[in-house]
Amino acid sequence: MTVEEGAHKDNVLDFALQQLDETAEIIGLHPDVHAKLRKPKRALTVSIPTRMDDGHLEVFTGYRVQHNMDRGPCKGGIRYHPSVDMDEVTALAMWMTWKCAVVNIPYGGAKGGVICDPTNMSDGEIEKLTRRFVSELVTIIGPDQDIPAPDVNTNERIMGWLMDTYSMQKGYSVPAVVTGKPIAIGGSLGRAKATGRGIVFVAREALRVSGIPVEGARVVVQGFGNVGGAFAELIEEMGATVIAISDVSGGLYNENGLPIGELIAYAKKNRVIEGFDGGDVISNDELLALECDVLVPAALENVITAENADTVQAKLVVEGANGPTTPDGHHILISRGIYVVPDILANAGGVTVSYFEWCQGIQKLFWQEDEVNRRLEDIMVRAFHDVHSRSEVLGADMRAAAMALAVERVAEAIMARGIYP
């Protein structure tokens, strides 16, 4: 079974709302604030007519949801995928609000997406789709309103088209409208590996508080894209052993460790890890059930569920993807004594360095890569221990503690600002 096949299409918005409702009860959230946070500030659906290479007109559907702006402008990625829908985008926007609050950067959450299959589209078709989509978003995005970024099936090249299209509409260059763009037009050094690097920092701290040495720790990674690949490479550099990897083509397992550098080179050339001669072929279900110290689900949402959570044999689950564990799946993991580092903390490295890129773009003052990485480590380590301390105070798991911390920070901003009018 592939990563894609293992991702159940459950309603992630129901899961996101359930998390918020449970948190509201734990922290005694004011009913008015709770009601406001259950609804996004703005949700836009647009049609994207695109002339395809064969001459016919394809009309795609795109979404942009802005969940909350009380702590600052919205921030969140844009994904291109056949499964995109409004509920998914709304849930992801809500999780972005919590993610930004957990690491204490001055953003609210947003998310966008287009229903399409970019694997069956030419570069020219993707560019035309992107530019038309951005043209529909011009009135609601901007450096002080909403700053998009890459997500599933989007990359720095697409963000460059986004920045250029927005700038052409404004009549001058606006680098700070988007993050994750090429270095040549205002991107930040260190951004490409930021999410994976952030996961490494929190995984290292989680191993430490669990009394497990990083050196020699056995690691399993589901997903081998920008996030999973960077994480695997960096955790190996710290001395851990990556024993299994999977992507859309399937999984590979080697009990003595996979050669990550060689695997990255192979995947870059072949686009998938299928056919790599360095490990045994395994299914996605088998990968999730491997005995290991750290399991990092870094693909799509809803891969650890009530149906398979009891088969997970990891000591720690560090969520690299957004929403990889359903609420029922999470409760099973916790009841079995598995330490879970939630997505809104674990994968916040990407939005953190996006914040750095935005700051650099506004100031027109750019940092060296070692400064970016050092600042990222400071923020991620501090955020991990903020959440860990809150979990000990509450006597709760790390997800409940992260949600409590995030919702409290957003609620404080709402109460400070009041309700208009």
Active site residues: 111
Other Cβ atoms less than 10 A from the Cβ of 265: the count is 12
Helical (H) or strand (E) element with 109: strand 108-115
211 SS3 class = coil
The C-alpha atoms of residue 325 and residue 341 are separated, in whole angstroms, by 11
Name the pairing type of β-strands 241-247 and 250-253: antiparallel
331-357 burial code (b ≥16 CB/10 A, e <16):
ebbbeeebbbbbbbbbbbbbbbbbbbb
Q: Does residue 225 contact residue 298 with C-beta atoms inside 8 Å?
A: yes
Compute and round to an integer the Cα radius of gyration of the chain.
20
Q: Does residue 404 contact residue 27 with C-beta atoms inside 8 Å?
A: yes
Q: Does residue 225 contact residue 4 with C-beta atoms inside 8 Å?
A: no
Other Cβ atoms less than 10 A from the Cβ of 261: the count is 12
Other Cβ atoms less than 10 A from the Cβ of 52: the count is 14
Cα dist. 207→76, 130, 240, 317 in Å?
29, 41, 11, 11
The C-alpha atoms of residue 132 and residue 353 are separated, in whole angstroms, by 27
Cα dist. 22→54, 80, 108, 125, 399 in Å?
51, 31, 21, 43, 11
The C-alpha atoms of residue 180 and residue 147 are separated, in whole angstroms, by 10
What sign has the CA pseudo-torsion 280, 283, 284, 289? negative
